[in-house]
Every structure is written in C-alpha cells, then in structure tokens.
Structure 1
Amino acid sequence: MHRFIVVGGGAGGLELATRLGDRYGATKKNRGEPRAHVILVDRYPTHIWKPLLHEVAAGSMDPFTQELAYAAQARWHGFEFQQGELCGLDRTAKRITLSAVKDEDGGELLPRRELEYDTLVIAIGSTTHFFGVQGAQEYSIALDTVPQAERFRKRLIAACMRAEHQVHEPVESNPADGGAPSDEPRVQVAIVGGGATGVELSAELRNTAQVLSAYGLHKLDPRHDVGIVLIESGPRILPALQERVSSATAELLVELGVKVMVGERVTEVAQGLVRTASGKTIRADLTVWAAGITAPPVLAQLDGLPVNRLGQIQVRRTLQTEIDDNVFAMGDCAACPWPGNERNVPPRAQAAHQQASFLLRALGNRLEGRPLPEFTYRDFGSLVSLGHFSAVGNLMGGVIGGNMLIEGLFARFMYMSLYRLHIAALHGYARMVLDTFAHWLHRTTLPRVKLH
C-alpha cells in the first residue's frame, strides 16, 4: 500500500491525516480494507487548537477539556499515530528519523526510530521568534505550547496574591515629568507584540483580573491595580490587518484599560522590566513574548530541502517542495506562492485548513496517477477576539463579495464559529454540535476563569 506520513498534528496536519484516514484507511466505511497506510507524527500526545492558547494563558479555557488525544483520533479515523520529533530525513531512501521520547524524569519511553514513506507531508508549524533580543528568551514567556500557557497563568495568579500582601509605595516617575510620584499598578503585565496573539491576550487578561478579584483570590482593584501594557514596534497594532480594523481594536483596548505603546522596539528584557530603543523602561512583573514567529530550525537540516530567510520550506503551487515531488509542505512551515500578491500565503489557521482540503484532493490524484492541481489561497478576512468584551475583524472575498468591518456580538459569533468548524473537520458536524452543547453545559458549573 501507498504510505502517507504527515508530520505535525496542528490544525492543518491533523485535519489532513483524519480525512486521509477516513478515505483510504482501515475504517468501517472502507470495510476494514485500507487502500493506503496513513501515519501522523507529532512530538506531543495531544492536540489543542493553537489559536486558543491565549485563552489557556488567561485561564478562561481549561486545556484538558479541549485537548484531543492523537491515539484516540487515529483509532476512530483509520490512521496510525507515532509520537516523536522529526530530526532527520533521507530523501533517497524515503525515510524520516524520529528522536527518542522521554518522560518527565528523563527515562526513555520510545526509542529513536525510522519510518519509511511514499509521500511525506511536513506540517510542523512555527515557533516563537525572539529576534536576538537580549534576555527575551530567558525572562519572557512564549505561548507556543499548553505548558507555556499554563505556566504564565499560574505565575499571574501568584503575582496577584503576592502583591496583595506587600506594602505598595508610590514610585517616582521619570525625571522628565518633574519627579512627581506616579501611582503605578501593583501588578503589571507587559505583552511584547501587537499582533493577534498579543491583542487577544491583553483583552482576556483584563477579564481574568476581574474574575480573580470577584472570587477573592486577591483584593486588588482589577482595573487600577492590575496593569496591562501592549508594546508594538510598528506604527500600529495588528499590522497584518487593515488600518481601520487596527484603529477600532486600539480604541476598544484603551476602553478596557490596556496601555497601548506603538513605535517602541524592545531591545532588552530583564527580570522585572522591559527596555525599548527610545530609552523607555517598562516595569513588568510578567512578560509575554508574542512579537513574531519563525520556522523550526530542523527544517534547514532536512537533506537539502530549500528554505527561505524565515526558515520555511520553499514549495511550488502544488505544495510539493522545489526539489522533491515526494515531499510536500503546508501551513506555517511552508513558503507557498500567492499569485497576485508580493508576499506568500500568510501563516493563518484558515490557510492551513484550505491547504488540508487541497492536499486531500491532490494526494488522491497522486494515488491514481493523475496530475496535481495548483493551490489557490482565498482570504476570507480576519477576526480578533477581545474576550467576553467584544470582537473585531473584516470579512472579505467569498464571504460577502467585498470588504466589511465587523465588530461586537456578530464578530464574536463569527470568531467562535472558527473553532467549531475545526471541530467539524475532525469529527463531523453532528459530533461538533454535541461537543458544543457538552462544553456549554460543563461551563455552567464552573467559574469563567480557572482559579488554581
């Protein structure tokens, strides 16, 4: 049988493996007679939709109720799951190498091993880009994984509880202001990066501060004593979106009590502070780094596969790599041409979803010996959640035939629908409806923020 290997269980990779398994794997629909062997590889045992990590960090989502075990998904949809991290590729032998898997104590769970393929799809996503900023990697927290998001959440709760029992004295302001005392927040969170992750986290944190106070975890004023500073190096937040969306979002954040600093490039992160190129020093009890993404370093070491300056694999419009027809790449780790645009297909969840649907058809053609189609990205717009307060965004192209700014309840509904469409791609619409109802019922018995 033809051997498909999908490396990376993110939004696009998991959707592709699931649908390949449904169509060609050993499922009841196929009467247990597979037409192809489908293997999904990921370094973690469970999947969570990455755009939800800011909610995990703010405590407004319990990751354990949203995680999906890859082994269970494989059992239900006719593919095989192999846990391990991609560390090598031999294109001549059509073989990938996975590193050993170890437990928390360093004991080996799974050995280093090799898997053979006929068609390889690399979909390992992206990782945080620290841009070489001094201290950024050591003193700030990225939001790439659930453990990182959980670490930030616990540190936020601890900082609020600790601040309540400390004597607070006014701090002298900048000498340029005459040295007058300034009434600074008791706890201050600095978020570096005014993209979607930074903006969404800042709004979620405002809600978290209010809930923690309401449940008595601290007696601080959630608006005055808990400060949130959003720092962006460019002239406006959400630089990838239209200016009117950026302006509307900035106004809403200011209304929520978030301090927005634009045109401030961070040059150093240290214990308890952030410094910018203009000479400003921002106090920070907690610092989150959300300033950009880059491709995982391993991609530049995969048997000569060409990569661009961001480390992404260069692919043709068929999503095949430029030098090997048997190796495909998709999602954030792929540099895919976008005809009619100066830049490549943007690293968004909607792009990964479209590429998964495209590859399902293209790999079917490959099995049957037919020529492959070319991928065309359709931009349906972008949405940014401001937690329970609001949402903003723009709808484009195939949705309304034009371009329209949306905000408020309708935008919030559209944003929530994105995740439900991801669930439907993994489980079907009937199970998605049941899952939505089950989570709503579960949330009615819990506080809106995880308190421990």
Structure 2
Amino acid sequence: MHSKHVIVGGGAGGLELACKLGRKLGPQAVMLVDSRLFHIWKPSLHEVAAGTLDVHQEGLSYQMLAHDNGFTFVYGPMLALDPRQRTLTVGAIRDDHQEQVLPERQIGFEQLVIAVGSTSNYFGVPGAAEHTISLNATEDAEQFRLTLLKLLTQAELKMGAQQDGSVDVVIIGGGATGVELAAELREASGVYATYGFRQLQANRDVRITLLEGAPRILAPLPEKVSRAALKLLEQRAVKVVTATRVTAIDARGVTAGATVYPAQLVVWAAGIKAPDFLKTLGLPTTRSGQLDVDDRLAVKGFDYIYALGDCAACAGPDGKLVPPRAQAAHQQADYLLQTFLRQQQGKPPQGKPYTYRDYGSLVSFGQTTSVGSLMGSLKGLSWFVEGLVARLMYVSLHLMHHQAVLGTVRTAVLALARFLIKRTTPLVKLH
C-alpha cells in the first residue's frame, strides 16, 4: 500500500485532518491508520465511565467516516517506521480466538503525520499501573463502568443483608479529567439508585475522594474557576484533598503520606506522557518522550514527517511547550491542512509558523452545569462562565468536532437523534 499523505492516529486532531484533507484530495491521496475501529471524542470518556453515555451510540465508525469524507482507513497499530525509506509497518489484527483477521502490512508514504496522543504517566508510584484505571481509551472507560456496576450490585446485596455495602472510589489527579469524572460519577450514582438499587443512598454509600498534589484543583486554570469547581464538588459530597502526594497503591487502597484511603476502585488522572514506542522510531524525541517538532510542526531533521497533538513537543514564541489540550490538536490539524493544500497547489509554504491560541477552558459538572474561563482577544483578558451558559458552551465544543468530521446537516440530525434516544432509554447504561 502507498499513499501521499498518511496520518497515524484517529483522535480529534488526526481524524479532523484526515476528513478535511480527504474531502479535498480523495482516498488515493489520504490514508488514516488507527488501532481501533471507531472514534469517540476523548473529553467525553468520563461520561462513558460513569455510564451516562453509551459508547456504542456515541462511537463513529472510521470506515464510515472514510467513505463519507474521501480517505482510506487502515485498521491496525503502528509497529515500526523506516523514516529514510518512507515506510511504516502496521501490525496484524487478531480476533478473540487469536485467529488472524488482517496480516502485518507495509505502507509507503510521501508525507507522514503522527497523531497518536498520549498515555498515563505514573511517575514511578508503586502499584499505580497494576491497581488503577486510566481513562485513555474507550476500553478503559468501559472497564471502569462495568467494575462500578458490579460493585454497586454487590453493595446492594450486602445492604439487603444488613451488612456494610459502601463503595469507595478514589480519583488521583485534580485536573479536568479527575474533576469531571468525580462530578459525573456523583450524578450517575444517584441515577443508579433509582434503577433498582433501592438500598443505596448515593451520597452516603458511594464515597468519592479526589486527591491532588497541587495546592488547589484545576491548577492551570484561574483561581476563580478552581474555587467554583471546589464548591460544586463539595455540594456533591465529593471529598477533595489537595497538597497531598500519593506514595503507593495496592488492592486495599491508596497511600498518601501517613494516610491510607480505602478504595475498591481507583482512577489515575494525575498525568500523561507520550507513548513509549515513539522512542523506537528513529525520530528525535524530547526527555518526556514527545516527538521534537519545529514551529511548522515538522519533526526536526525530516521535512516530510509531522506530528500534532499530545505526542508532539512544539515550542511557542515564548519558548513554552504547547499544552496537551484538544484545542491545540484542532488548531494544529487546521495548520497542517493548509500546509498540505498549499503544497498540492504549488504555492509557497505558509508565511507564519504555528502559534497556539488559548480560547479558554470549560469543565463539565454533569448534565446541567459547567464552569470555566473564556479568553478574550486582548492579552490577559478572560471571562468567568458557569451554570447553564457554560454547559451549553461545553456541549457546543462536542458538536463543533462532529461538524468537522460529519458536516453540518448530519451533525444536526445526530444531535436530534441522541436527544430523542435519551427520552426512550435509561439515563445510565445498566448492562
């Protein structure tokens, strides 16, 4: 197989680039490689974990998207790269019985974009990898949801037998993922109680603890946002412990200094890093393992290999690295789109390098409210938003992503369909 433009990684940035480029150049010129068959917007994984979002309704098939947007989809993980020969190796796919469905394949390319995202960084904490769940992918969120459902079922049976059936959940990391999961989980636990878990009193029997090493949660965001978030969590009976460092995790719970927090379910949301396999590709990487790219998003030393999103270390004009956020990946995808289209049209390269623009941040607190800050066009100017207005803005971000990959009409129809489906299905997934 061979394609002019090969994109590895179907996350938000990689998929948007494939869709927009495919609509311009067609399936013979654009190829997307991913190790999964369907796409889900990563910021919604906390909803999948809590059970308030059904991944099988939310997921978008890459094969469908390829057909509709004019690119070729290749199913399989990236195993190796020969940057000089411009070939990459895609691994074989096997079914549940270990029978080979697709063989290992070689793909030739003229230009390559690596957009493989990030994975959890456990910072060497003993037991973290073995005894926690990280919301990196759909299977992680589904594992959390099924484990929670099992624990709630066991708790209901114990309480029916007059035994202690409380469930302890510890979330490590007070960034957006940890905070959103805590809020969504509290809301979902109350909904679960109405669907047959009659003995369960959510605020009393589902104990949620959020641990954060910094002096406050949502540390990168303005302090006003952090205070509002803390207030909302406390109203939802979420215990928040800041300025604490986790030192060990085992099957019984989480140890932070001299304190042990009992837990049957532990989520790691305390940090991310680039996937380890990037160091094996023969490309320059930083100490953190990210691909080292220039201000045009080209991997240094290779003017035909690019990287975007969490896996790319891109420094801004101030020397600071672009933060690993979804809006950065969206912006970088649009920048590379213009780069490739100008090349296709025989035009000179873009006059300006890629520059990250921070439009603010929104943090979801369930299905009815959000908080956050919006950045103004003037340097240093921002607005604090909360409540229903912030929630509508948060939902609009998801719809904007769908609009980029599905188009306006289909996004509108999909939004209406999901609204109607919610009126005929349980508020949480119960199986």
TM over 0.5: yes
Q: What is the Cα-based RMSD across aligned positions, in Å?
A: 2.0
Contact 2:343-2:349 within 8 A present in 1 as well:
yes
What is the aligned counterpart of 1:257 among 213, 237, 242?
237
CA deviation vs aligned residue, 1:158-217 (integer Å, no higher than 9, x gap): 11221233269999xxxxxxxxxxxx9811100011111100000011111111111123
Please give the alpha-carbon distance, in whole angstroms, between the structure 1 residues aligned to 2:396 and 2:377: 17
Relative distance call for 1:401 and 1:24 in structure 2 (3 A) is: farther
Corresponding residue of 1:308: 286
- Where 2:394 maps in the other structure, the secondary structure is helix
- The structure 2 residue matched to 1:354, chosen from 331, 337, 349, is 331
**Aligned with 1:144: secondary structure?**
coil
SS in 1 for 2:323: coil
Q: Is the 1:94–1:118 contact (alpha carbons within 8 Å) kept by the matching residues of 2?
A: yes
Does residue 143 in structure 1 map to residue 135 in structure 2? yes
- Residue of 422, 425, 429 corresponding to 2:408: 429
Is residue 212 of structure 1 aligned with residue 182 of structure 2? no
CA shift digits 1:32-62 (9 cap, x unpaired): xxxx511100001111111111000000000
Letter in 1 for 2:320: R
2:55 matched to 1:63?
yes
- Shift of the 400–449 alpha-carbon distance from structure 1 to 2, 3 Å rule, reads farther
Report the secondary structure of 1:117's partner residue: strand
State the AA in 2 paired with 1:13: G
- Correspondence for 1:395 among 358, 374, 388: 374
Unaligned runs of 5+ in 2: none
Aligned residue in 2 for 1:24:
25
One-letter amino acid matched to 1:225: D
Q: TM-score, normalized by length of structure 1?
A: 0.91
Mean Cα deviation higher: 56-65 or 157-166: 157-166
Q: Aligned partners of 2:277 and 2:155: how far apart in 1? A: 42
Counterpart Cα distance in 2 of 1:350 and 1:369: 29
Matches within 5 A, 1:150-229: 150-166=142-158, 186-229=166-209
1:42 aligns with 2:34: yes
**1:83-121, CA deviations, whole angstroms, 9 ceiling, x for partnerless residues?**
111111111111111111111222211111110000000
Residue 322 of structure 1 is matched in structure 2 by: 300
**One-letter amino acid matched to 2:339:** A
Contact persistence 1:379–1:397 (CA under 8 A): no
Indicate conservation of the 8 Å contact 2:368/2:388, yes or no. no
Does the residue aligned with 1:252 lie in a helix, a strand or coil? helix
Three-state SS of the structure 2 residue aligned to 1:358 is: helix
Amino acid across the alignment from 1:92? R
Contact 1:318 1:372 in 2 (8 A): no
**Which position in structure 2 is the counterpart of 1:9?**
10
Name 2:220's counterpart in structure 1.
240
Deviations 1:287-339, CA, capped at 9 Å, x for gaps: 11111111001111112x11112211011111001110000000110011122
Displacement of 1:402 in angstroms is 2.5
Q: Is the 8 A contact 2:33 2:73 kept in 1?
A: yes
CA distance in 2, matches of 1:337, 1:371: 23
Distance (Å, rounded) in 2 between the aligned partners of 1:25 and 1:379: 32
The 1-side partners of 2:301 and 2:160 are apart by 62
Give the equivalent residue in structure 2 for 1:367. Answer: 344
In structure 1, what is the Cα distance between the partners aligned to 2:224 and 2:284? 37
- The answer on 1:441 being equivalent to 2:411 is no
Partner of 1:271: 251
Return 423-432 or 184-193, whichever deviates more.
184-193
The DSSP-based 3-state class of the residue aligned with 1:316 is coil
- CA spacing shift, 1:263–1:168, aligned 2, 3 Å: farther
Q: Matches of 1:436 and 1:422 in 2, distance apart?
A: 12
Q: Aligned pair 1:407/2:386, yes or no?
A: yes
1:29 equivalent in structure 2 = none
1:41 maps to a residue whose letter is V
Q: Report what 1:282 is aligned to.
A: 261
Out of 287, 301, 315, the residue aligned to residue 337 of structure 1 is: 315
Q: Is the 8 A contact 1:212 1:218 kept in 2?
A: no
Residues 120, 136 of structure 2: 8 Å contact kept: yes
**C-alpha contact 2:156 2:197 (8 A) present in aligned 1:** no
CA contact (8 A) 2:176 2:218 kept: yes
Is the 8 Å Cα contact of residues 3 and 31 (structure 2) preserved in structure 1? no
Cα 1:401–1:423, aligned 2, differ >3 Å: closer, same or farther? farther
Contact persistence 1:160–1:218 (CA under 8 A): no
Q: How many residues align?
A: 428
DSSP-derived class of the 2:358 partner:
coil
Gap regions ≥5 residues in structure 1:
27-35, 172-183
CA distance in 1, matches of 2:3, 2:401: 27
Partners of 1:165 and 1:427 lie apart in 2 by: 45
Output the CA distance in 2 between the equivalents of 1:3 and 1:98.
17
Deviation at 1:80, TM superposition (A): 0.5
The answer to which of 93-102 and 368-377 deviates more is 368-377
For residues 302 and 358 of structure 1, the distance between their equivalents in structure 2, rounded to whole angstroms, comes to 24
Shift >4 Å, 4+ stretches: 167-171
Identity of aligned residues (%): 45
Give the distance between the partners of 2:295 and 2:110, measured in 1 at CA.
Answer: 20
Letter in 2 for 1:191: I
TM-score, normalised on structure 2?
0.95
Residue 278 of structure 2 corresponds to which residue in structure 1? 299
Residue 152 of structure 1 aligns to a residue whose secondary structure is helix
Letter in 2 for 1:328: Y
- Separation in 2, partners of 1:43, 1:218: 41
Task: Give the SS at the match of 2:158.
Answer: coil
Asked whether the 8 Å contact 1:195–1:237 carries over to 2, the reply is: yes
